[in-house]
């Protein structure tokens, strides 16, 4: 299975974890505000320029330049979400160190001294909460020289304990050591002490199995202990429930071997619990693969369509189980905002009133924080269509519309690369409590420059607008 290495690292649902009463899919952030307080956080995705051809400012120079622009806007933001593909072209220790940890070292308590770091060496002063992307799993195709280099580095590390840093490991080992808790090498006594020290937060009403109520979850403490309990997880912050998903394991047909039915069942149950909890003010879901986008390379990719279908099914099931959406207005969706990456752009889309589980929702793609940007499919084509079967007839139905797009624009001497990140403000006392503010990062006359744009039109009561904004 794709995720087996990460599951082994965190001892996912092993007997000793279950018997200790630990919910491995939750965490509590120690400095979380009350549900009545406003707060903000930053979002980035698909970071590091990598080695792709055609990028004028690539590698560490790009990563440093972009990171400096983002960090200038950090301010009082409580944490940073990452929509996956933290580094390119593969998730090696060297790439995480040089392409992410070093450029964003201001977020760290201390930068690891070499690419031979382990989980205990990475502590964030400001929470960094990612989901894994396909490049983080190192499961993409490479050129011959890259494959040979990786094989050589793997052999040197395994046989002679020589680490050149390019080792990625199968199934995202380097990603796991960078972000996840590492329980694999602990003795029973060490594990017991570790759980008592770091898994001491109340886990609410979460359950594993039909009846086994859990008591504890990971206590995320900025500046002290900043590991994640699993590759997918949930947390509550300021009255908002966040669901961080690993879409790599359910981006195919459901009958494919290794399909992650368990994660989708977990999401469904978690959303049901959240909707039925009157103390929760809203829900944000984030994942790597974009269910909706008009970016030229992703708009009709099979992974896009499968992720859309599976997420739509979960939302439909949640709606059926929660009836009239428990006191929320008919126009208010179950999930207030879905954030994704994978498509190398910044885009805001809205689904229409289709009668589907994901109708009338806001979808924001934040995948333009570093890798080579891509254009929109067509300047004049901003709608997403699907073929719908009714009886013996097939109809083409409009299901979503793109409201905003920024990425690669123009060609040749007129080409513009507009990199991006987001600042999201949560204001519980406002009708539209979620404000999504995009930031454009560009190179102008050899210098980096950042500009803040107007907030995106996010919010159910504002309806679906036919007017689209495209940054020129």
Phi, psi of 134 (to 5 degrees): -65, -35
- The CATH number of whichever domain residue 222 belongs to comes to 3.60.21.10
- With contact defined as beta carbons under 8 Å apart, do 51 and 59 qualify? yes
C-beta separation of 175 from 91 below 8 A: yes
| Higher per-residue confidence, 211 vs 418 | 418
Query: Residue 176 above 70 pLDDT?
Result: yes
pLDDT of residue 88: 83
Greatest Cα pair distance, the chain, in angstroms, is: 64
Indicate the pLDDT class of residue 324, thresholds 50, 70 and 90: very low
In whole numbers, what is the pLDDT of the chain averaged over residues? 86
Q: Evaluate if residue 328 carries a pLDDT over 80.
A: no
Residues whose CB is less than 8 angstroms from the CB of residue 465 and which lie 6 or more positions away in sequence, other chains included: 350, 403, 457
Q: Is the pLDDT of residue 142 over 70?
A: no
Q: Span 323-335, mean pLDDT?
A: 61
Is 379 a residue whose pLDDT tops 70? no
First to last CA, the chain: 43
Output the 3-class SS for the chain: CCCHHHHHHHCCCCHHHHHCCEEEEEEEECCCCCCCCCEEEEEECCECCCCCCCCCCCHHHHHHHHHHHHHHCCCCCCCEEECCCCCCCCCCHHHHHHHHHCCCHHHECCCCCCCCCCHHHCCECCCEEECCCCCCCCCCCCCHHHHHHHHHHHHHHHHHCCCCCCCCCCCCHHHHHHHECCCCCCCHHHHHHHHHHHCCEECCCCEECCCEECCEEEEEECCCECCECCCCEEEEECCEEEEECCHHHCCCCCCCCCCCHHHHHHHHHHHHHHHCCCCCCEEEEECCCCCCCCECCCCCCHHHHHHHHHHHHHHHHHHHHHCCCCCCCCCCCCCCEEEECCCCCEEEEEECCCCCCCCCCEEEEECCCECCCCCECECCECEEEEEEEECCEEEEEEEEEEEEEECEECCHHHCEECEEEEEEEECCCCCCCEEEEEEEEEEECCEEEEEECCCCCCCHHHCCCCCCEECC
* β-bridge mates for residue 366, sequence order: 346
What is the value of pTM for the model shown? 0.89
Torsion of Cα atoms, 387 then 389 then 392 then 396, to 10°:
-30
Digit-coded pLDDT (tens) for 288-310: 999 999 999 999 899 999 999 99
Instruction: Say how many domains are in the chain.
Output: 1
pLDDT at 150: 53
**Mean pLDDT to the nearest integer, 83-94:** 89
Residues 105, 14: Cα–Cα separation, whole Å = 34
Query: Distance between CA 391 and CA 439 in Å, rounded?
Result: 46
* Dihedral angle sign, alpha carbons of residues 370, 374, 380, 383: negative
Q: Report the alpha-carbon distance of residue 374 to residue 55 in Å, rounded.
A: 11
Percent residues over pLDDT 70 in the chain: 82
Structural domain that includes position 288: 4-470
Indicate the Cα dihedral angle 42, 45, 48, 52, nearest 10°. Answer: -150
Given a cut of 80, is residue 201 above it in pLDDT?
yes
* 469 pLDDT more than 70: no
The pLDDT assigned to 372 comes to: 84
Give the confidence band of 151 by pLDDT, cuts at 50, 70, 90.
low
Q: Which residues contact 260 (CB under 8 A, 6 or more apart)?
A: 3, 246, 249, 250
CB atoms within 10 A of CB 196: 11
How far apart, in whole angstroms, are the C-alpha atoms of residue 181 and residue 443? 38
- Token pair of 218 as six digits: 């990971």
Task: Indicate whether 196 pLDDT > 60.
Answer: yes
* Alpha-carbon span 54 to 472, nearest angstrom: 20
Summarised one tens digit per residue, pLDDT across range 4-48 is 899 999 999 999 999 999 999 999 999 888 888 999 999 999 997
C-alpha–C-alpha distance, residues 269 and 207, integer Å: 9
Contact 248, 134 (CB under 8 A): yes
Please say whether the beta carbons of 206 and 214 come within 8 A. Answer: yes
Q: Which of 132-146, 172-186, 355-369, 420-434 has the lowest mean pLDDT?
A: 132-146
Q: Given a cut of 80, is residue 152 above it in pLDDT?
A: no
pLDDT at 416 over 90: no
Instruction: For residues 339-353, give the mean pLDDT.
Output: 96
pLDDT of res. 89: 80
pLDDT at 155: 52
Phi first, then psi: give them for residue 421, nearest 5 degrees.
-155, 175
């Amino acid at each position: 299975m794709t995720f087996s290495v990460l599951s082994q690292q965190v001892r996912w649902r092993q007997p000793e974890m279950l018997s200790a009463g630990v919910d491995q899919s939750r965490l509590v952030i120690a400095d979380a505000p009350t549900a009545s307080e406003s707060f903000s956080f930053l979002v980035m995705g698909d970071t590091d320029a990598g080695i792709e051809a055609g990028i004028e400012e690539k590698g560490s120079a790009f990563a440093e330049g972009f990171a400096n622009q983002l960090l200038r806007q950090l301010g009082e933001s409580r944490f940073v979400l990452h929509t996956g593909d933290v580094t390119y072209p593969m998730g090696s220790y060297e790439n995480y160190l040089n392409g992410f940890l070093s450029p964003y070292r201001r977020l760290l308590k201390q930068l690891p001294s070499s690419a031979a770091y382990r989980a205990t060496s990475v502590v964030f002063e400001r929470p960094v909460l990612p989901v894994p992307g396909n490049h983080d799993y190192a499961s993409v195709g490479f050129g011959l020289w890259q494959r040979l280099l990786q094989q050589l580095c793997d052999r040197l590390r395994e046989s002679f304990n020589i680490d050149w840093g390019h080792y990625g490991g199968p199934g995202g080992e380097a990603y796991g050591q960078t972000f996840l808790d590492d329980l694999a090498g602990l003795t029973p006594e060490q594990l017991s002490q570790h759980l008592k020290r770091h898994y001491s937060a109340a886990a609410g009403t979460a359950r594993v199995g039909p009846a086994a109520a859990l008591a504890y979850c990971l206590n995320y403490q900025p500046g002290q202990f900043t590991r994640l309990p699993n590759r997918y997880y949930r947390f509550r912050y300021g009255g908002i429930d966040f669901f961080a998903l690993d879409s790599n394991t359910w981006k195919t047909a459901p009958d494919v071997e290794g399909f992650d039915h368990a994660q989708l069942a977990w999401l469904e149950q978690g959303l049901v619990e959240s909707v039925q909890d009157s103390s929760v003010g809203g829900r944000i879901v984030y994942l790597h693969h974009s269910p909706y986008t008009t970016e030229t390379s992703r708009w009709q990719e099979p992974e896009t369509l499968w992720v859309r279908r599976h997420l739509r099914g979960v939302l439909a099931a949640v709606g059926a189980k929660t009836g009239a959406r428990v006191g929320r207005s008919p126009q208010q969706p179950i999930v207030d905002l879905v954030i994704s990456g994978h498509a190398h752009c910044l885009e805001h889309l809205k689904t229409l009133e289709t009668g589907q589980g994901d109708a009338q929702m806001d979808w924001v793609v934040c995948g333009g924080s570093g890798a080579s940007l891509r254009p929109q499919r067509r300047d004049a084509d901003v709608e997403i269509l699907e073929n719908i079967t009714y009886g013996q007839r097939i109809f083409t139905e409009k299901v979503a519309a793109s409201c905003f797009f920024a990425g690669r624009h123009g060609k040749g001497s007129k080409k513009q690369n507009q990199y991006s990140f987001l600042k999201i403000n949560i204001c519980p006392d406002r009708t539209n409590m979620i404000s999504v503010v995009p930031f454009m990062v560009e190179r102008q006359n050899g210098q980096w420059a950042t500009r803040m744009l107007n907030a995106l039109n996010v919010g159910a009561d504002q309806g679906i607008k036919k007017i689209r904004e495209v940054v020129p």
